[in-house]
Structure 1
């Protein structure tokens, strides 16, 4: 930006000086183009001054000069008008701003009276020109600032106008300062007619507490029809003071309502809800707590029914994203042709059967929070590079969309499949595997945390008795031993289902072995055929106990230290372990 951007102001300054001092004035910019002038030079505004004019020397030295008799002055020896210059004397003064040359202002005498005046008052005129130079520099800076602010405001308005949400900006009293086109479209109103009006005139039912922003559902009359919107207020704070408010307006859809239900606290699972005190489960809890504050991806590994989603929710609720959504989707439960739109969402009319208003996807719903992709091993191969791109770029496009939508979520994935083998077989992308496997957490099966079975079964028993409104029950010793020795292929989920079954079918207080589900009883009958012929429950259990001990000795070793570890895993005293080893001749 140069002096021509304030040409009108420069010309007014030149004419004012000329009228007061009765001399002519010329103002040129840093490229020696005449910006303003009076008298004989007024019709030359916009043209360059003569080549090698004394103004060039003044600009180069950045110091004021007095030129007497330009036609014979040594300072004008190189000027292209030397010998034909009509000027009798000139004072030139550089216009500066923080060391930068903006131009030169000159007082010009075309007769002896004007010449005597600028000679006589030279010192005071230099001071005067210095102030005028500062005035012009300040005016230019002001104009530049206003222009930049105008551009910035227009850019911000265009950005806000292009957002997918309706936006209304108000002061603290609810007086509207700005409204974007999306809000106009939602409410069927013209924004320019609403500026300086109260937001409550448009939405009478709106009850907002600007100090406590939270999403609420509001009914608004639009074209004589009641429509539902989700509205959220965001206070604008400067130095801890609320200076204005941004009101977001979302069209209500089932998906958005579900998202806000998630935000409002349905993810209440914490690590305290994960029952168990065995060394293995405590180790997994400890790792999970440590990584919870991170944004890094987590891959939960474990058999079906081990509680992978519980850990995912507990990690989310121990992070700084706890007040944002936890969005879960099972990659195996949705048909391949629908999964992409579920994840990415879609624009209206993107495909046959698509809603005309479009739909948000799980990526958008999880923005700011956590996205849990269960059964990630079942994610179709054609969607894997698209997921990888979202993780790398933190942005995505809806199906049928043309604009990138920025997104910030923490990914937690879970699988019971061998992703390494799948990657080798070309069934799972290796690059996505490494992107997911940043923090791998292995959740042990129930058979490896035998010492937790009793506390888990008692917890589930109490839970279902209360839930079903049934008097308290208890497990017989034979049932508890059977629970400890059963291999639980369905893990914690199978144990939970078994206890719920027993609470429903057992009418008395005591739950006995014969009450157990068929699959559990069949397991012991099958083991009876392999290990003993008596068919007695005591013999069946003892044979199974012997096999368990043999397996643990083989896995962990038979030193004193190894036996101490086995006793700890089994939740029994070391002396009890030695007694059992002696009983089964396993010393």
Structure 2
């Protein structure tokens, strides 16, 4: 607290005292800097008093004093002006705020008449100065309170301006009291021109009910464009009485983006996370990476459990849309009568059981991002032309809606069904098929990527031992051989489930052949069990690997040189093995 914060009012007090008492006045702060003065000292405002002057003693003792004849007074013994001081007498009084010193008030006599007055009225002057000291302390406290309030107000404004959503404060009638910069940006308004005006006058298309406090989605006309916002009213209550309203405004797209960023934070799959370096798998990954930045639709084809959604997520996260939502929906898992509302969304009251506020659909949620339609072959025939229209026009209407909503998403579809056969049977529209099948990518089944089984098995056993808090287990040689020979109709998903089962039920660290699930053991009791010797098992494993590499790279001499290099064997060794397995 410093008296210079109220320098103007302090000077007014000094001049009032001087006018009433007909003496000169000096008021200093705790550092003995002159804050206010009259008469001869007025031009010294802002400067320090002489060193070791009587005011310093008054400040240290915090008690009033009368100094007679400063040039010879013992109280001014150390003063640097002693012997040349023009003052004849001084009354000094400390200005206190409780125990805290704020400064000193001095009444100064430069002639005998003034000196006699100070001597004669000393006791009354001390009472008078006490009251003035309290007045100055109160003024300073008030000024500091105002300064602190201004600081807090400015800090609060900066904090509110820094929020990710728009904020408008209104009174109970809707008259605007405050608008943050985000709301100005969203609604294209200038807070300098709208304070104390009705929000309904400023935004005519805004419909608010100050008695409902649930978030609602609304569309507003901003610069002749229809834009979607989510608005929530928060009442400000004082002693159970509503005194004003805080209106939160979120851009629908940014709100959805933030929600999906939060939900998808742990699903940041990249191509490095997709395990497998067998030839067919490498081919699928290379193709997916190559087209990730394209805007064209992708159709992922492969059996159930091959990892089509992993590929879809990796493509999204390698694209220019990676910071926007990835929205997945399984067309086979939602009843036909609900799927349209799930995709398109609906307006409030569009059908029996619909939410009063309506609901956004997956098309809107995926705006600027990626929409993944899994099991596209199960999309009902009556919805197929509607999906096609959305893809062609890049706009749609909600169920029960009248307004076209523009949308921009990248479509990735996936299926394990034969769409060409479905087209011939009239179960899938040919025009939609060609719109989806712009970039077809085949995900190989596990039986065609035998070389990846061991890597996948090691990954899953580490994953589930850690997840289930078990000691790390390992597979016996016989189990590894069985895994490489098994058909895996459920593909990678089945392999993962089998390993999770084994980690749960096997007590020893080694997982043996007899621990395998019933269905796998039954598989080897049939015709597949005739290869009993280790040599036959290994020969069969080697043949399948060589066959998959030939299918991936080709059968020319140059192709075989590449295969030999990948397998780290001589070309002559490769030819010998190809002859052995009749693969030439």
Query: How high is the TM-score relative to the length of structure 1?
Result: 0.55
CA contact (8 A) 2:253 2:365 kept: no
Match of 1:425 in 2: 425
The alpha-carbon distance between structure 1 residues 492 and 327, as it changes in their structure 2 partners (threshold 3 A), is: same
Q: Which residue of 1 aligns with 2:462?
A: 462
Q: Call closer, same or farther: CA 1:435–1:414 in 2, change over 3 Å.
A: same
Structure-2 separation of matches of 1:441 and 1:377: 16
After superposition, where does 1:363-378 map in structure 2 within 5 Å?
363-378=363-378
Q: Assess, with a 3 A threshold, how the Cα gap between structure 1 residues 348 and 452 changes in structure 2: closer, same or farther.
A: same
Check 1:549–1:372 CA distance in 2 against 1; reply closer, same or farther (3 A cut).
closer
Preserved CA contact (<8 Å) 1:567 1:577: yes
Question: 1:516: Cα distance to partner?
Answer: 1.5
Deviations 1:469-528 (A, max 9, x none): 111111122211222222221111111111111111111111111112222222222134
In structure 2, distance between residues paired with 1:510 and 1:171: 72
Say whether the 8 Å CA contact 2:260–2:326 is kept in structure 1: no
Residue 329 of structure 2 corresponds to which residue in structure 1? 329
| One of 528, 537, 544 as aligned partner of 1:541 | 537
Of 179, 185, 192, which residue of structure 1 is paired with 2:208? 185
Whole-angstrom distance in 2 between the partners of 1:504 and 1:385: 47
Show the 5 A alignment for 1:160-239: 168-169=187-188, 180=203, 183-185=206-208, 187=210, 220-221=234-235, 231-232=249-250
Q: Is the 8 A contact 1:219 1:229 kept in 2?
A: yes
What does the per-residue CA deviation read over 1:91-140, in whole Å, with 9 as the maximum and x for residues that have no partner? Answer: xxxxxxxxxxxxxxxxxxxxxxxxxxxxxxxxxxxxxxxxxxxxxxxxxx
Aligned-partner Cα distance in 1 for 2:497–2:247: 41
Listed one character per residue, the Cα deviations across residues 443-469 of structure 1 (whole Å, up to 9, x for unaligned) are 111122211111111111111111111
What is the rounded CA distance, in whole Å, between the counterparts of 2:326 and 2:545 in structure 1?
A: 42
Report if aligned partners of 2:450, 2:545 keep a CA contact under 8 Å in 1: no
Cα separation, 2, equivalents of 1:451 and 1:565: 17
Asked if 1 retains the 8 angstrom alpha-carbon contact of 2:304 and 2:490, the reply is: yes
User: In the TM superposition, what is the alpha-carbon distance from 1:267 to its structure 2 partner?
Assistant: 3.6
1:346·1:358 contact (CA, 8 Å) conserved in 2?
Answer: yes
Residues in 1 aligned to 2:465 and 2:247: alpha-carbon distance in whole angstroms? 42
The aligned residue for residue 362 of structure 1 is 362
Aligned equivalent of 2:51 = none
Within 2, Cα distance between the matches of 1:429 and 1:170? 48
Q: Which residue of 1 aligns with 2:155?
A: none
Task: Kindly report which structure 2 residues correspond to 1:548-567, keeping only aligned pairs within 5 A, or say none.
Answer: 548=544
User: Do the aligned partners of residues 402 and 262 (structure 1) sit closer, same or farther apart at CA in structure 2, a change above 3 Å counting?
Assistant: farther
Task: Give the superposition deviation at 1:426.
Answer: 1.3
8 Å contact 2:474–2:509 — kept in the other structure? Answer: yes
The C-alpha deviation readout for 1:10-39, integer Å capped at 9, x for no partner, is xxxxxxxxxxxxxxxxxxxxxxxxxxxxxx
Q: CA, structure 1 residues 574+221, in 2 after alignment: closer, same or farther (shift >3 Å)?
A: farther
Residues 237-294 of structure 1, C-alpha deviation per residue, up to 9 Å, x if partnerless? xxxxxxxxxxx47999xxx699545676354111111111222222222221121112
Residue matched to 1:401? 401
Q: Distance between the aligned counterparts of 2:253 and 2:236, measured in 1? A: 14
Q: Which structure 2 residues correspond to residues 90-169 of structure 1 after superposition, within 5 A?
A: 168-169=187-188
Structure 1 contact 450–570 (Cα < 8 Å) conserved: no
Distance 1:393 1:516, change over 3 A: same
Distance apart, 1:372 and its partner CA = 0.3
Distance 1:258 1:542 in 2: 52
Q: Is 1:472–2:486 an aligned residue pair?
A: no
Structure 2 counterpart of 1:450: 450
Return the TM-score normalized by structure 2.
0.56
Deviation at 1:541, TM superposition (A): 3.0
What's the CA shift for 1:364?
0.8
Q: Which range is displaced more, 376-385 or 538-547?
A: 538-547
Closer, same or farther: CA 227–365 of 1 in aligned 2, 3 Å: farther
Could you report, residue by residue, the CA deviation over 1:296-330 in whole angstroms, capped at 9, with x for unpaired residues?
11111111111110011111111121111111000
- Are residues 348 and 457 of structure 1, via their aligned partners in 2, closer, same or farther at CA, if it must alter by over 3 Å? same
Larger mean Cα displacement after TM superposition, 168-177 or 433-442:
168-177
Q: Structure 1 residues 500 and 578, CA, compared in 2 at 3 Å: closer, same or farther? A: farther
8 Å Cα contact 1:344-1:397 kept in structure 2: yes
Name the structure 2 match of 1:265. 265
Distance 1:182 1:293 in 2: 39
Residues 421 and 510 of structure 1: is their aligned pair in 2 closer, same or farther, counting only changes over 3 Å?
A: same
Q: Does structure 2 retain, via aligned residues, the 8 Å contact 1:461–1:473?
A: yes
The equivalent of 1:71 in structure 2 is: none
Contact 1:299–1:439 at 8 Å: present in 2 too?
Answer: yes
Report if aligned partners of 1:371, 1:409 keep a CA contact under 8 Å in 2.
Answer: yes
Q: In the aligned structure 1, how far is the partner of 2:321 from the partner of 2:446?
A: 30
Say whether the 8 Å CA contact 1:325–1:368 is kept in structure 2: yes
Change beyond 3 A, Cα 1:228–1:258: farther
Please report how far the alpha carbon of residue 538 of structure 1 lies from its aligned counterpart in structure 2 after TM superposition.
3.7
2:502 equivalent to 1:505: no
Residue 228 of structure 1: CA displacement? 12
Contact 2:369 2:408 in 1 (8 A): yes
The alpha-carbon deviation at position 186 of structure 1 amounts to: 5.5
Q: Find the aligned partners of 1:230 and 1:524 in 2 and give their Cα distance.
A: 64
Instruction: Provide closer, same or farther for how the CA distance between residues 295 and 510 of structure 1 changes in structure 2, counting only shifts above 3 A.
Output: same
Distance 1:575 1:423, change over 3 A: same
Within the alignment, does 1:440 sit opposite 2:440 as a pair?
A: yes
- Residues 263, 324 of structure 1: 8 Å contact kept: no
Aligned length: 375
The CA deviation at 1:580 is 6.3
